[in-house]
Structure 1
């Protein structure tokens, strides 16, 4: 094989591996939670009244407490309180609370915040 052929194969390799890494980075698994992830964001539905957490985007997100429409989460080790319908930043992630019900809390966590 010529050095030009080897260089071409090496140049293509990152493009083949990239989609696999992007999917793996956004897979979600949780305790008392469900996840729906895209390339750089995950929507997490936490069950209320139990210890609920999810491993997403290479970090752990935990539901700490809910008081009215104020949701306290631990995202990548940083505790943040977010009002329903608004957003905050934690450890380089954008965190927004999409809904709060008697049984569930839905949160969107996106990579790329200014934390």
Structure 2
């Protein structure tokens, strides 16, 4: 199953929640449309299930992005001084166009 992009999913959830707080007839009509879109996007039939699934996917996407965030690479520099051997971690410069490596595999967004 294709998953919606997290930004799109976050927008749908936020708009649905904002409209559910508004009690006008127009807001209820838009809320029904968003409920349908959320259900289709998450592969569910009930809006409560769609919201739970969407929130779970958003948490997973956030955790994956945090885990895949580039970490500064360091090099250990050893230097001999009068008092002995000192070691220091020095940031290694990134080459132009270097991309962070991730072990979580490809992500598919629709």
Q: Considering the TM-score relative to the shorter chain, is it more than 0.5?
A: no
Shorter-normalised TM range:
under 0.3
Which entry has the higher C-alpha Rg, 1 or 2? 2
Structure with more contact order per residue of length (Cα contacts < 8 Å, sep ≥ 6):
2
Q: TM-score, normalised by structure 2?
A: 0.27
